[in-house]
Amino acid sequence: MAFIIAEPCIGTCDTSCVEVCPVDCIHGTMPVDEIKEHQAAGNKEAFASIQLFIDPDICIDCGACEPECPVEAIFEEDDTPAEWESYIQLNADFFE
């Protein structure tokens, strides 16, 4: 079991979840440090299509990330809303 990140992260991508994850299992197509630089510069266009994903093989299911997300994009796998169930596989596929 793991937590997953769904569609609402896209374009928000504020990296709050990364800060609290004890096992560093949250990553995206753009390095987190680069996202933070764009955030600090107010350059929202740079990560407009970017989202982060959770590595299901490393996530320890602690739940620390879930309440940190300002757009409620993080779900425990079994509680993922039906409309975003495809994101369970998308999170796993990102780390293949």
Binding site for ligand SF4 (CB under 6 A): 3, 5, 9, 12-17, 20-21, 23, 25-26, 52, 54, 59-65, 68-69, 71, 73-74
Strand partners, 27: 53
With respect to ligand SF4, which residue has the nearer C-beta, 68 or 82?
A: 68
Tokens of 53: 């994903």
Q: How far is the CB of 45 from ligand SF4 (least distance, A)?
A: 17
CB of 86 to ligand SF4, least distance (A): 16
Query: For residue 64, with 0-12 CB atoms within 10 Å meaning exposed, 13-18 middle and 19 or more buried, which class applies?
Result: middle
Q: 14 or 85, CB closer to ligand SF4?
A: 14
Residue closer to ligand SF4 (CB basis): 73 or 96 = 73
CB of 15 to ligand SF4, least distance (A): 5
Distances (CA, A) of 43 to 5, 13, 17, 52, 83: 22, 12, 20, 17, 29
Other C-beta atoms within 10 Å of 76: how many? 14
